[in-house]
């Protein structure tokens, strides 16, 4: 059975995380370390395959020096399916 397609909202949030990370000139490994999560988990989030908990979203936002609401809002604006 093929894997289900990622939820577009998770994809949009993942794109927002990746965009913010790249805009901050951070490597994936540096952000993962700053957020206290594994690089593998961060890859899954950025690709829309992982559904991060609130605590993970807070940690990522802190690692990016962004307000969590700004990061979530950026992902919500990219999602045209909702």
CB 17 within 8 A of CB 72: no
pLDDT at 82: 44
Residues 8-78: name the CATH superfamily.
lambda repressor-like DNA-binding domains (1.10.260.40)
pLDDT for 63: 97
Regions of the chain short of the pLDDT cut 70: 1-3, 78-82
| Residue 32, C-beta contacts closer than 8 angstroms, at least 6 positions apart | 38, 39, 41, 42
Q: In the chain, what are the domain boundaries?
A: 8-78
Q: What pLDDT does residue 2 have?
A: 65
Q: What 8-state DSSP symbol labels residue 2?
A: P
- Amino acid 6: pLDDT: 82
pLDDT of 37 reads: 98
């Amino acid at each position: 059975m093929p894997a289900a397609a990622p939820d577009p909202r998770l994809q949009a949030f993942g794109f927002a995380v990746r965009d913010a990370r790249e805009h901050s000139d951070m490597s994936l490994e540096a952000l993962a370390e700053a957020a206290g999560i594994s690089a593998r988990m961060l890859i899954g989030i950025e690709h829309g395959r992982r559904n991060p908990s609130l605590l993970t979203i807070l940690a990522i936002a802190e690692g990016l020096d962004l307000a969590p609401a700004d990061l979530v809002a950026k992902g919500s604006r990219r999602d045209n399916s909702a």
